[in-house]
Structure 1
């Protein structure tokens, strides 16, 4: 953690820090943010110059983390395809803030447990002979 605090981070670093996203995931996210309209996986793959299957895995990771949304487009003659767009940044920020608050509370609890477990002034600790 101290290493994380010493490093210069950009806001996109939060994607990796909070969710373990890879560089390709961030590239796909940026492609979606920069697009005027929602994109298909094929269009995302073209934008990041990767194979469709590789881009699809990145899209799935972004969906799982809630950074992007998927919508179904139906053809008039039957069938459908999916398009992807970025989630509202304020919603993503709220989710990250909630996650950070949960983490902070958990770390506080663990620190308290550490202090309780190793407190030498505790009456149950064996006496120090001198």
Structure 2
């Protein structure tokens, strides 16, 4: 795999998909790893994810909760015949994630352009106490 395809260098930061998703969705890099595990391996129980990524079940549970809050995974309850239930988690399609990221970047860009257009030299002088 071409590493440069997954990295974007800007003057102040080098982006990879993990830190970009962390920034856009307000999640941890470990949460992003859980998202990609679900995306690659399909719908799974917490215990199966934990085994695959070699993390404690409680750590994976927290990551999945963060992903649910961010809208990156869905949860389905599976009822057992003998009583009880368990949950299966599934990653939303990566194309949906890319669309959300692009929309956020476009909004950020518009806001930054508006902000920078509204800064004057007088504003800078005031800010610097001159």
Report the TM range for the smaller structure's normalisation.
Answer: 0.7 to 0.9
2:36 counterpart of 1:30 = yes
Give ranges in structure 2 of 5+ residues lacking alignment: 1-9, 126-130
Once the two structures are superposed, the pairs formed by residues 79-118 of structure 1 within 5 Å of their partners are: 79-115=84-120, 118=123
Q: Which has the higher strand share?
A: 2
CA distance in 1, matches of 2:57, 2:102: 33
Correspondence for 1:124: none
Shift in alpha-carbon separation, 1:76–1:3, aligned structure 2, 3 A: same
CA distance in 2, matches of 1:90, 1:32: 15
CA distance in 2, matches of 1:23, 1:78: 36
Query: TM-score, with normalisation over the residues of structure 1?
Result: 0.73
**RMSD over aligned Cα atoms:** 2.4
User: How many residues were matched structurally?
Assistant: 116
**Structure 1: which 4+ aligned runs deviate by more than 4 Å?**
none
CA distance in 1, matches of 2:98, 2:23: 13
Tell whether the 8 Å contact from 1:66 to 1:92 is kept in structure 2 after alignment.
no
- 51-60 or 104-113, which moves further after superposition? 104-113
CA distance in 1, matches of 2:47, 2:103: 33
> 1:13 deviation in Å?
3.5
Q: 1:51 aligns with which of 40, 47, 56?
A: 56
Query: TM-score, with normalisation over the residues of structure 2?
Result: 0.73
Q: Which has the larger radius of gyration?
A: 1
CA distance in 1, matches of 2:85, 2:121: 59
CA distance in 2, matches of 1:66, 1:42: 21
CA distance in 2, matches of 1:80, 1:30: 25
